[in-house]
Structure 1
Amino acid sequence: MCLPPEQPLCNYTDLYTGEPWYCYKPKMLSCDSRINHAKAGYQKHLITNKEALLFQSGVNIKVPIHASGPDRIDVLPPRKEVEVESSSVKPEPIKLAPSGYYYEDSWRPLSGITMRQFNKSSAVTQCLKNKVINMYGDSTVRQWFEYLITLVPGLREFNLNSPKNVGPFMAVDSTHNILLKYRCHGPPIRFSTVMASELRYVSNELDGLSGGQTLWWSSAFGPISAPFLWRCTYGARHVRQSLVRLLDRAPGTMVVIRSGNLQALDAEVSLYNSDWYSLQLDEVLRSMFKGLNVLLVDAWEMSLAHHLPHALHPPPVIVKNMIDTLLSYVCPDKTKRQLT
């Protein structure tokens, strides 16, 4: 454990847990003997037995809400807005439209991309031919790595003697000149034990790339107390700055960012990692990368819109649609009209 200085730089009180938080500037020399990083777990039994009665599945949560009127939806053409002269400035309308929908388990984006279906491994191989793909993120990005090496028969994973859930990982298809790499992001993390020598911040990794490669990045999620929000936005700001530098020196680099997705919530998980908290962080990160020449895989909408139960690691059918979205960015089909 790194020893902090005697006086904290700042302090907060988490309004949700009531716990105090302190900001320290660590003494770098005190970390020389650090061997690994590990999560300590979560405090258990945070609610009383009476409070637990408010979190009963099928009783007062996860209860279907039946329609109070007709059980059908009529889709009408949009109304023409009537312009009214006014000296006041009109506020921007709140955008509530989803980014897409599913039709027969196939994701149909409403804008920004012509969706392709990569149902054959040969099509995926051809799309990734002569490319270097760098993946940075949490276990949901690692899930993409695992999906691709299973789907593409030519990708052979190198045994780097890395921890199964942490990495780093690397796979190569020498016949088609494909290099696929994955590395977990730096703190704050919720991984199991990670060697300190393998802890790399995404911003530093981006600064070490020459460019002209494809980057897939995702962020970690957790409860948004003031210090946690500060740490995540601070890290995302550094990633943004690194992306600006990368795109300046190598404008041909394709950068794809994955948003977070919903997960199954029980009474305990809801206390420290609810979807409401994750949604706030998702909005922060979307705003952080707004205006950059980066592409987005809207994992939040893709997991929200599907009929299968929410899962921290989405089922294969959703992962396939995410990969199809990625590959549609990398290898767009210019012969088809874009879905609108």
Structure 2
Amino acid sequence: MALVNQNVPNVDFKYLNVTTNATNSKATILDYKTTYCVGDTITVQVEMYNHMGHKKTYGGDFLRARIFSPNLGAGVSGNIRDFNNGTYNVYFTLFWEGQVKISILLMHPSEGVSTLWKSRNLGYKYIVYTGKFINKGKEVHTECGFTLDTKGEKCEYMDKKYGESFYCVRPPGVACEAFISLKSGKSPYTYLTDVQKELFTRSNFGAEIPKQFENFEVFKCSNSSRKMSTKCQTGMSPPFPSGYFLHNHWFPIYCSLSTNEPFSHIETCLANKIIYLMGDSTLRQWIEYFPKVMKNFKFFNNHGIGWHKSYFGYDLRNHIYIQWKKHGHPFVTQSFFSMKDHAYITNEIDRLGGGANTIIVISVGQHFRPFPLDLFIRRVLNIRKAIENLFLRSPETKVIIKSENTREMNNDVERFSDFHGYIQYLLVKDIFRGLNVGVVDAWDMTTACGSRVVHPPEIVVKNQINLFLSHIC
């Protein structure tokens, strides 16, 4: 937490006019050249101004940057450096030839970043949980959550090994063991003042920084060749950006991945494998995609209800088994989901013997955004510990970490802003560094392609799976 606090601005303001304004800011290419070659790096300097037209004197603005060529299905993220004085440099590597467009968005002014950071860590009031208990055939509903403001009797559901706790107000005369299902809803509670809320109106959210230059052309020059010989494998720590899209194919820049080769051998690659997908619905997209590329893959009807039910799929001809199961609390959804198969990812990992034919893919983040960050940090540290224990008993098990995606720009900023996701993304990279796991950098992919939905287009899901396969095949 202390490290994150050092990198998040601590800014107070009384008037909106002193906050960063995208329209008054400007982006300029440094060391402009008449000809750019594939492989060149271009530097764009961004100078931020407030609503009164005055230059900002401190940093901390949350920017999103990419270059792209829509006709080529191409895009790559920019690497942003904050000089903490209102000036930023954005570095882009030119990976393809053709016309290139640059987009630099002000996602949140630094004052908004500071506000979101402080409000997130004030408590657990953004989300309310309702538990369903079955008592002698009758439903009883009660309040549940990580903290409960009640003097009444509580049911505690504790994972003592990893220190995870969840509570429900105990209904009178009902046993705690009668807890059967759970749902959540957004609380009307807000930690923001009316002035602070103005920071997150559409005009201040995701606005384009005006450019002092036009789109430009990139050429394939004689010295602009790039070859990677190292195969993608577990244990690698991808840089940022970690790759780029071209013709709608994702090319990592730190390892070798031919465009579609893993997909073309998917059944051979996954033969005799047991694959456990553990996480949220962005990982559920994977198991929903497999039938489109595996002709013998079928789902087993487990008679579950809702999108959050567990999915079980199999290919009997090639002896492939794949399952998706949601992660444990917090899970945010407005429909009831069963508590009878509830388990934290750490518990799921502890139950596995592992082995050369066992593959685990983990993705957490989206459902943690409305809660204080210490909950997320503890969970990810616990997952790392469970993986370390797994590797002790079965070092040949393959584990892949999929980072979270970017999401909608207008979907309840206070609870679900991508700023919250970005902090979690950085923490996941740091916590799993040095562990022999593979990485699918979904944050980078969704940024590069300009995705603005929590469930990205199918082409993105396909490329995520293709990169996953490259670590397995």
- CA change 1:61–1:208 in 2 (3 A) is closer
Q: SS state of the match for residue 197, structure 1?
A: coil
Asked if 1:215 corresponds to 2:360, the answer is yes
> What amino acid sits opposite 2:385 in the alignment?
Q
* Corresponding residue for residue 274 of structure 1: 417
Summarize the alignment of residues 186-265 of structure 1 with structure 2, pairs less than 5 Å apart.
186-191=328-333, 192-212=335-355, 213-222=358-367, 228-265=372-409
- Whole-angstrom distance in 2 between the partners of 1:262 and 1:98: 15
Q: SS state of the match for residue 198, structure 1?
A: coil
* Corresponding residue for residue 444 of structure 2: 301
* Corresponding residue for residue 33 of structure 1: 178
The answer as to whether partners of 2:251 and 2:259 remain within 8 angstroms in 1 is: no
The answer as to whether partners of 2:183 and 2:336 remain within 8 angstroms in 1 is: yes
- Whole-angstrom distance in 1 between the partners of 2:385 and 2:267: 32
> Between Structure 1 and Structure 2, how many residues are aligned?
297
- Larger RCO (CA within 8 A; separation ≥ 6): 1
The answer as to whether partners of 1:121 and 1:153 remain within 8 angstroms in 2 is: no
* Corresponding residue for residue 89 of structure 1: none
Range moving further from structure 2, 214-223 or 310-319: 214-223
- CA change 1:51–1:208 in 2 (3 A) is closer
- Per-residue CA deviation, residues 228-253 of structure 1 (Å, 9 max, x unaligned), is 31221112122111101111111111
The counterpart of 2:299, out of the listed 138, 157, 173, is 157
- CA change 1:128–1:195 in 2 (3 A) is same
> What amino acid sits opposite 1:237 in the alignment?
L
- Whole-angstrom distance in 1 between the partners of 2:297 and 2:423: 37
* Corresponding residue for residue 16 of structure 1: 119
Q: CA deviation at 1:96?
A: 8.0
- CA change 1:176–1:224 in 2 (3 A) is closer
Asked if 1:103 corresponds to 2:246, the answer is yes
- CA change 1:26–1:230 in 2 (3 A) is farther
Q: SS state of the match for residue 216, structure 2?
A: coil
- Whole-angstrom distance in 2 between the partners of 1:325 and 1:133: 15
The counterpart of 1:310, out of the listed 449, 452, 456, is 452
* Corresponding residue for residue 431 of structure 2: 288
- Whole-angstrom distance in 1 between the partners of 2:324 and 2:367: 21
The answer as to whether partners of 2:330 and 2:368 remain within 8 angstroms in 1 is: no
- CA change 1:127–1:164 in 2 (3 A) is farther
> What amino acid sits opposite 2:325 in the alignment?
R
Structure 1, unmatched stretches of 5+, are: 1-13, 78-94, 332-340
The answer as to whether partners of 1:158 and 1:171 remain within 8 angstroms in 2 is: yes
Q: CA deviation at 1:121?
A: 6.5
- Whole-angstrom distance in 1 between the partners of 2:189 and 2:399: 39
Richer in strand (by share):
2
- Indicate the structure (1 or 2) with the bigger Cα radius of gyration: 2
* Corresponding residue for residue 233 of structure 2: none
- Per-residue CA deviation, residues 110-160 of structure 1 (Å, 9 max, x unaligned), is 10x321334796622121111111110000011111011232121110000
Structure 2, unmatched stretches of 5+, are: 1-116, 125-145, 149-153, 159-169, 171-175, 224-237
Q: CA deviation at 1:45?
A: 8.4
- Whole-angstrom distance in 1 between the partners of 2:185 and 2:245: 39
Q: CA deviation at 1:53?
A: 6.1
The answer as to whether partners of 2:206 and 2:409 remain within 8 angstroms in 1 is: no
Summarize the alignment of residues 73-92 of structure 1 with structure 2, pairs less than 5 Å apart.
none
- Whole-angstrom distance in 2 between the partners of 1:101 and 1:108: 5
TM-score (ref. length: structure 1): 0.77
TM-score (ref. length: structure 2): 0.56
- Per-residue CA deviation, residues 254-281 of structure 1 (Å, 9 max, x unaligned), is 1000001101111x52121111111011
Q: SS state of the match for residue 215, structure 1?
A: strand
Q: SS state of the match for residue 179, structure 2?
A: coil
- CA change 1:60–1:323 in 2 (3 A) is same
- Per-residue CA deviation, residues 281-330 of structure 1 (Å, 9 max, x unaligned), is 111122121111101100000000014x4110010011111011001111
* Corresponding residue for residue 88 of structure 1: none
The answer as to whether partners of 1:222 and 1:277 remain within 8 angstroms in 2 is: no
Q: SS state of the match for residue 16, structure 1?
A: helix
